Structure 1
Amino acid sequence: MKVSFIGLGVMGMGMALNLAKGEQKNEFEFLACDANLEALEQFKEKGINTTTDITDTVDSDYIYLCLPNLDIVKEVVLGKSGLLTHLNPGQTIIDFSTISYLGATEIAETCKANGVEFLDCPISGQQAKSMEGTLSIMCGGNEEVFNKIKPMLDKMGTQVLYMGENGCGQLTKVINNCALNICVASFSELMPVGVKLGLDPEKLGDVLITATGSSFASKTLVPKVLEGDFEHGFSLDKAYKDMESINEVLVKHEIPLPTLSGTMQSYQLALQGGQRDYYKHAMIRFYEDLLGVQVRKEGFE
């Protein structure tokens, strides 16, 4: 059996390194693929086969993808010289990229028409978890195929869930992301109000981290707000695209979600306010500017 992995970026690197351990245990033959030669060095050092050409992967039983966006996934899979032009019925593509629900279902339908299985398996977790092999992986597609590849997925994640038919993996991921986005918007709007009216930022932050209004978002991001740390690899602009993705589904099915719609407006204000390239909690700076305050710990400059 041959397994290939295309896309060795921030998340794909650790995932591919963990998956490649299967070759070291003689479970399968492994090939790492990326256009960036530097990304291949760690694999070459371990004696793992590498390539910069995706067509070298087309004889694989299973081809894993971890790519930046929907356009690139479509080009790699459905493009004029993409994978699907070379694959035979019975081969499988597993996509870890975060793309839209509608995009995933469209790609899956095209693959299925050619006898190729396509599973959308977006991931959740930071770069450290990808290196540790402790990601959450949410999968949509053929359940029988999922059961076959689960031992491989278990090398990359500790929470590996089958969510349903094609698109269900992406739908799960975007719902999770949007729930996080809503939580970030809530404290970003409310903390500046508290500080404007005389509350101490650190004490208010302690309450939002520990009391009934706490969330994963407040626990991880309120400390960064207080320290003035808004740098992160995943920008507010990309977070907004998650909401655009689910909004396509809501429009198609005529489903009103006022809380999500309000959150999108908060993100739009932050994007227009110059916070596009910072992490999502940078939206608090829009409300700080609006109210003329800063939500920072004592001594911050």
Structure 2
Amino acid sequence: MKDARLSKTVAMGIMGICTLYFLVPIWWLFVGATKDRGDFSNTAGLWFADFHLGDNLHDLFTYRDGVFLRWMLNSVLYTGGAALLGTLLAAMCGYALAKYSFPGRETIFNIVLGGVLVPATALALPLFLIFSQLNATNTFWSVFLPSLVNPFGVYLARIYATASVPDELLEAARLDGSGEVRTFFTVSSKLMFPAFITIFLFHFVAVWNNFLLPLIMLGNERLFPVTLGLYTWNSQVNQLPELRMLVITGALISIIPLVIAFLLLQRFWRNGLGAGAIK
């Protein structure tokens, strides 16, 4: 009994430490965004001084004709479109690998698994050279198209489709005259919906936080996502000290879409994890 209680206490202590590890930087960011430049440098980092969040937001949204809002819009377009289309492509590929037998199926799946292991940094330069040959660098598509690929999503979709979509159900749909595409969208997609949400969230976070690919591909500031835009401001802080508070406030605003996406979809995500664990 004592050993069980001790194990529970240790586990709760580790979870508490991990929670603080993740939440303290967010708290520091929020507190920092409420200060002016003087208070930010001269007051405690984890507690409030004079509340200037409204002024900081106004400065952020009006600086250089609202370029930060343009960056946020770019990030929404890059991330929203890539996450939606990438989730659909990954789900269809994973479903096909799980439910259809064809020559080379396992080879293709092993190649997909290999793609999961390849770091994004190793792909950035080859992608740049390919898009350079096509004269497509410094365009929306040079960031959007590579972001559609999601090998980890294909892996998750195959595992979930194998566990959640019965072969008997597919056979019944075929006997009723349903085509393969129609069966996927009307029958299988409903059973795989929790997996779709999980893949979407992973893909959304990955594309939103993507930094290296836009850094290599883009030179036009108007095409920057918010991650690259804030980086360019932060690199100029020594020459333009007023940018420091814009970077802090902009970083706080930039995480809000991630928080909203997770809060709206966490119910489906938890259900999907629970269903996968049971199966």
TM-score by length of 1: 0.22
More helix by share: 2
More strand by share: 1
TM-score by length of 2: 0.23
Higher normalized contact order (CA 8 Å, seq sep 6+, divided by chain length): 2
